[in-house]
Structure 1
């Protein structure tokens, strides 16, 4: 698939590109990889106005509305007149390899005509970056004006800046550090284990049969607790019961009603089950667990010393999944004098999505110039 470098392939409409076979860092191989992606705006003649926005763990490519009626997940950041102005920039968002929004993943058909399922190989964030670089080549983008992302998207942006320093002019890393910590890996393991222990999981080969929905919903509950803060839960739910249920009036444990916070987590689990593949959740979570910008590159300063981009680092003050201290450690190790911009939000980690508008002025004045 070859795309004209001056073409505007569609604003907010999913497209697909074949990038060939992909040798993987862990030793596996994907013989034919497809990437789902969306674009907004028009690429200029020399391909110098391209901005890559990387989605987080279960995010899609749909960053902003464009020609679609569906709102995007980062409308405060990207769109006409937004900090990442789609009237000025050619904005690209790519579904990660292993995902289920258009890119090759466990539910995709393998060469033998069956879904990959349990045979899908381990894909790291470096592998996904290599795949995205091929798509950038096809789109006629020699280097990105900027690469931005939050949470896992921030890890992907950082990997871009270190792996391909000559192709990244600016890099925004929001709400994540230089590597996944032991605690973050522990939270991730609990989530993937919840899916694997679902009676319908069938070692990952459940396609065509009952889906491991209970396990996926439980994984989402575990994750969502880390995405929100204790203050958010207390202020929003407290110890209130889910009306008209009661946690205190039951002859047996299995008959008791729920607290409001339990009902909220149930709702979050059900929402994800309707839109996401359980194997993809495992594959992408494993990719995030692999996040370590230092792997094979020496110390943190040595690894980050490869990068030549102008950096923008930000954190959410109430984040209890990726602590602001990790962002400060990252900023301190980057070449030059890099500040940590702070999103003030009691909500917790998800503040990088809901409150990104707080950084609009800084992004315009110090980053996207």
Structure 2
């Protein structure tokens, strides 16, 4: 593997304003939308080598490389860079923080220009389609009218799927990884408990905690929400290998309610590190976005959009749908349903279940077969574009 792309900077762009507001799927309007984004590689003269990375729930625009002072690279550095599957010697890779996010893109922590105060829970509810429309606006500013591919895991895969259905002429390939087209009751239940942990924190203040300063934010609730969620991202096998029943900093159990087992210490660390980089309201909004996602609710719409794409110049979207055998949060059944519905609508679909021990988080790891599969799919898309 190469040394990666080195130092990078997050940029910002205003993509909607008073003259051209963003009208959300709910009908609400946002008259100022700023987007934080990073780009890697060089855009081809014809603009046809762009690959958009759609991030997951807790991700952000910093997918690869290092910011000044960083000890760790971006969250998907193992797959983005020279010679890597998202090869920045060949592709122009864009990653942007989602609408509703907390890392530079307009969200509940942003200032409402009408009141001069942070939105809090007055920020409108969002749909995956709204995240896509925001990123389409960014690409227009960057001079990209058609993507070679959109790729994402989990919530990112939902965005790639929605994008390909709503605008099939704009997406050459959609790589939908460890994702779902419709959350199960179990998935919704996990998110509901996590949201309750946040909203029942005494410092939540109905979502208006921003002016209280760092010490007055609902960190206990957000940390607990992260701990709940993180359990679902790991497989039982990976937890057994990492922790087993090992005792933390002791030979024998202390038989009390303090942190005793290594897995308890790990979850506490995950919760604490999360509150230092994430916003509780964004967590509420993004989990609700995922709950309501249901792009196949109208099969006739899916069929029309796939047919329209196939008839358009470029032949519509080709799909790579991937799952991991240890992922019980979005199991292979979720991926298979996506592949089956798309095939039934006439789309070109490649589906694979990959073996990896890391559970839902497998899409973040450098699993060799996974990387080969992604690279091969992008190679085919690039070859088709060159013909």
TM-score normalized by the length of structure 1: 0.90
Residues 297 and 134 (structure 1), Cα distance of their counterparts in 2 relative to 1, 3 Å cut: farther
Residues 190 and 246 (structure 1), Cα distance of their counterparts in 2 relative to 1, 3 Å cut: farther
CA deviations on 1:150-182 (whole Å, 9 max, x unpaired) are 111111111110111110011100001222222
Compute the displacement of 1:362 (Å): 2.3
2:21 is equivalent to residue 13 of structure 1: no
**Paired residue for 1:317?**
325
2:69 is equivalent to residue 63 of structure 1: no
Q: Mind listing any 5+ residue stretches in structure 2 that lack a counterpart?
A: 1-5, 310-315, 381-387
SS at match of 1:208: helix
**Paired residue for 2:376?**
365
**Paired residue for 2:178?**
175
Distance 1:45 1:19 in 2: 23
Residues 305 and 262 (structure 1), Cα distance of their counterparts in 2 relative to 1, 3 Å cut: farther
2:237 is equivalent to residue 227 of structure 1: no
**Paired residue for 2:362?**
351
- 1:274-285 alignment runs, 5 A limit: 274-285=276-287
2:283 is equivalent to residue 262 of structure 1: no
Compute the displacement of 1:295 (Å): 4.1
**Paired residue for 1:5?**
none
Compute the displacement of 1:352 (Å): 0.8
- Counterpart of 1:146 (choices 133, 144, 149) is 149
**Paired residue for 2:274?**
272
Residues 161 and 247 (structure 1), Cα distance of their counterparts in 2 relative to 1, 3 Å cut: same
Distance 1:134 1:53 in 2: 15
- Counterpart of 1:236 (choices 236, 242, 262) is 242
Distance 2:254 2:300 in 1: 56
2:38 is equivalent to residue 35 of structure 1: no
Tell me whether 66-75 or 81-90 shows the greater mean CA deviation: 66-75
2:294 is equivalent to residue 288 of structure 1: no
Residues 27 and 85 (structure 1), Cα distance of their counterparts in 2 relative to 1, 3 Å cut: same
Aligned residue pairs, count: 356
**Paired residue for 1:47?**
47
Distance 1:356 1:232 in 2: 14
- Counterpart of 1:114 (choices 110, 113, 117) is 117
CA contact (8 A) 2:160 2:175 kept: yes
- 1:91-240 alignment runs, 5 A limit: 91-111=93-113, 112-209=115-212, 210-240=216-246
Distance 1:193 1:115 in 2: 22
CA contact (8 A) 1:54 1:93 kept: yes
Tell me whether 166-175 or 278-287 shows the greater mean CA deviation: 278-287
Distance 1:236 1:67 in 2: 29
SS at match of 1:131: helix
RMSD: 2.1
TM-score normalized by the length of structure 2: 0.86
Distance 1:204 1:245 in 2: 43
